[in-house]
Amino acid sequence: MADTRRAMHTEAHDAHMITLSAGRSVVEAALGSANGFHGRVLKAPGNLVLADYMVSLARRAPTLDAAVLPALSRALIEILGATQTTGRRAGAEGRRLAFSRRERVEQHIDANLADPHLSVESIALATGMSRSSLYRLFDLQSGVGRLIHGRRLAALRSALDRREPASAQALSSRFGFADPDQMTRLFRAEFGESLDSYRVAASAAEAGGPEDSRRRWRTWLSEVA
C-alpha cells in the first residue's frame, strides 16, 4: 500500500502488477486511520481475494457503468478490511456506516448541483439526517458548505475537460453558482488558475494525448499537495 502524498520508491522484478487508486475515505472506512499503512505489504492468504477482485475490476473496467461504482467501492471496503485479521473489529461498523452516509450525501449533492438553494437544511431533509449529524460527518472536510462548493467545482472542471461549448453564464447556472463572477473566483481559489486559461489549455490539448494527461496530472497534484 502506498500513500501518494508521500515520497516512495518501488522496485519489482518478474512481477505482473495491477495498480488500484482508492480514495483515502475508502481506505479509512476499511482499515481505520490510514497512517502507518504507507509501504505496508499485504501478504497471502489475506490478500488473495483482494488480488482477485482487483484483477476482475481491471478486466471489466471498460464495461462498467458509472452507476455501479458506489456499490463496487463498498465491496472494496469489505474485501480490503478482510485483509486485516487483527485489530480491525473495533469501530469497523461505525466507519462503514459513516462512509455510507457521506456517500449518500455526496450523491444527493451531485444530483442537485443546479439548485441554488442547496444547503445543510435541504440536504438534511432529503437524507433524513439531522443538521448536527451532517456537521459531524463532514467536520474533517471543512464542513458541508465547503463540500458543496467542492462538488460543484469538480463537476465544472469535468465539463471543461470534455470541451463542452457553454457560456460562463450557462455553466454557472448549471452547476448552481450564484453568478459567473463567483464561479470564476472559486475556480481560481481551488485550482490555482483562471477558468478561462484552464478552458483554453483543455481545448488546445488533444483529448487523451500526452499534454492532456500532463495537464490533468498537474491539476491532481495541486489538489493533494
Give the three cell numbers for residue 61.
473496467
Residue 194: φ, ψ to 5°? -70, 155
Q: Where in the chain is the domain with CATH 1.10.10.60?
A: 91-225
Residue 188: pLDDT band (50, 70, 90) is very high
Positive/negative CA dihedral, 14, 35, 43, 61: negative
Q: Quick one: fold of 91-225?
A: Arc Repressor Mutant, subunit A (1.10.10)
* 225 confidence band (pLDDT: 50, 70, 90): very low
Confidence of residue 87 (pLDDT cuts 50, 70, 90): low
Q: Distance (Å, rounded) from C-alpha 54 to C-alpha 178?
A: 42
Show the cell assigned to 217.
496530472
Higher pLDDT, 164 or 38: 164
* pLDDT classification of 151: cutoffs 50, 70, 90: very high
Name the residue among 75, 54, 72, 146 with its Cα closest to residue 105.
Answer: 146
Task: Place 148 in a pLDDT band, splitting at 50, 70 and 90.
Answer: very high
The answer, yes or no, to whether the previous bond of 210 is cis (omega within 30 of 0) is no
pLDDT at 206 over 60: yes
On the CB side of 71, CA atoms within 13 Å amount to 5
